[in-house]
Amino acid sequence: MQVKFSAEPNDKADAIIVGVCENNVLTEEAKEIDQQTGGLVEKTIKVSRFEGRFKETKILTAPSNISANHIILLGFGDVKKLNCYQAECLGGSLAQTLKTTKDKSIDCRFKGINAGDLSETSLLSHMALGLKLKSWKFNKYRTKKKAEGVSPIEDVSFLCSDPQATNDGYSPLKHRAEGILFARELVTEPCNLLTPTSFANRLKELKTLGIDVDILGEKEMQDLGMGALLGVGQGSTQESKLVVMHWQGAQDSSEQPLSFIGKGVTFDTGGISLKPSLNMDEMKADMGGAAVVSGLMHSLAARKAKVNAVGVVGLVENMPSGNAQRPGDVVTSMSGQTIEVLNTDAEGRLVLADALWYTQERFKPKIMIDLATLTGAIVVALGHEYAGLFSNDDDLRDNILRAAKNSGDKTWPLPLNEAFDRQMDSTIADIKNIGGGRAAGSITAAQFLQRFIRDVPWAHLDIAGVSWMPKSTPLFDKGASGFGVALLDELVNNNYESIS
């Protein structure tokens, strides 16, 4: 999809989109179209239930004196209350509506809409982002009905007062979208085709953006003492990998990097602690954290972010076999701490334990943020609406919460304390990989991870409920969401890039 911003309307477009505000207040472009069509817009509003509510749409067949096939009314609701995320939702609503037409060329006429604190540039650029995100569809392996559910849109133009400024505002958002879609694609890939090795090979492609990519195999990880990570993958015929992505964008090349660490279990059977068969196919998405880190690194490099950043992803496959890790095994992590593995389905924290330790030891980062589809307990607590947020640093936690509000990737803070930490003590090793029963499962998992953090500001995002969604939302259809890329890109832009 090609997006452009223009000072002149595209009279040759297949569809013309105009805005209608709350209580059917027409925008200037809507009034102009109404005059050109002999009152069609006003009459349609009068005889239908369309009221200009937020995200409401109405498709009109254009009369013969208009070259477009359709005129589409888009409800803005109370425009003075719009924020950037809501602007994206407006674009997403428009994309969903256009999937029901055959229109390929779209002309959006929202010039001069007074959206309160949201400038025209921000309004239009975020609408374009939402349009792009909602239009995405994964049809890579379909041989029939390939166009089903796919947006027909090929090019979109936005009428605006200052095309250059709006294009400049959209440019970093376009790269954010690329990162989100990259993450979605990785999560949606079938697990027989996205193995640790093929995942690592996909990340080599990021070198074209200027990212240094290093891939560690099992021999290198054995030499580093990564017994926790390697134990997870020992039952699989697929070799485990650790991929390190390094972006140098700060003026000072020696500046401490920001670090992002992702759990990348390309398929999780639960190992010997086998999962129930119902919906086990969704465990191909257990590498969602690694996908988000990969998408974020793509976005930062593509938009030439002025920071140093490191992305580290631990890629393993958790399978039962004669060589698989057993409940009751004790492994030694890279930190030197021993771990009693009481449940082989609590494997993501083992992967992260070594990846976190490796990151802080090698890179001495300014901050560490890990993402993982870590616990089913977080879905029980927060459903499919929020990611769980845990942190040892109040400033980092608050910065993430602000970025979550701005980006629409919602997070909710949860506690860490000594009482929960004591539940992770093992009777025969330094630590065990599950807590004391079903209570507070997400918190005890976070407490486990904190055992592998030194004095670095750190945050853990449990994205199990928001990485693979059971329903469609304003910005994506059912399935992979790409949750976390926008959140972390926003965090970097607002808190670190500007002071680099």
- What amino acid positions are annotated as catalytic residues? 275, 349
Give the separation between CA 154 and CA 146, rounded to whole angstroms. 16
Quote the tokens at residue 133: 């995100």
Q: Cβ–Cβ contacts within 10 Å for residue 10, how many?
A: 20
Helix, coil or strand: residue 427: coil
Q: Which residues contact 55 (CB under 8 A, 6 or more apart)?
A: 75, 77, 89, 90, 93, 474
Quote the tokens at residue 213: 């990519």
Give the separation between CA 355 and CA 360, rounded to whole angstroms. 9
Give the separation between CA 318 and CA 299, rounded to whole angstroms. 29
Residue type, 312: V
CB 125 within 8 Å of CB 115: no
Using alpha carbons only, how large is the chain's radius of gyration in Å?
24
Give the separation between CA 462 and CA 37, rounded to whole angstroms. 52
Distances in whole angstroms, Cα of residue 144 to Cα of each of 62, 150, 422: 32, 13, 55
Give the separation between CA 388 and CA 379, rounded to whole angstroms. 9
Classify each residue of 120-136 as buried b or exposed e, where b means 16 or more C-beta atoms within 10 Å of its C-beta.
Answer: bbbbbbbbbbbbbbbbb
Distances in whole angstroms, Cα of residue 122 to Cα of each of 160, 169, 326: 11, 7, 54
The DSSP output letter for 423 is T
The DSSP output letter for 463 is -
Classify each residue of 80-106 as buried b or exposed e, where b means 16 or more C-beta atoms within 10 Å of its C-beta.
Answer: eebbbbbbbbbbbbbbbbbbebebbbb
CA angle 171, 182, 445 (to 5 degrees): 115
Instruction: Quote the strand ranges of 22-154, DSSP E.
Output: 25-26, 57-61, 70-77, 105-109
Picking from 91, 99, 88, 317, the residue whose alpha carbon sits closest to that of residue 191 is 317
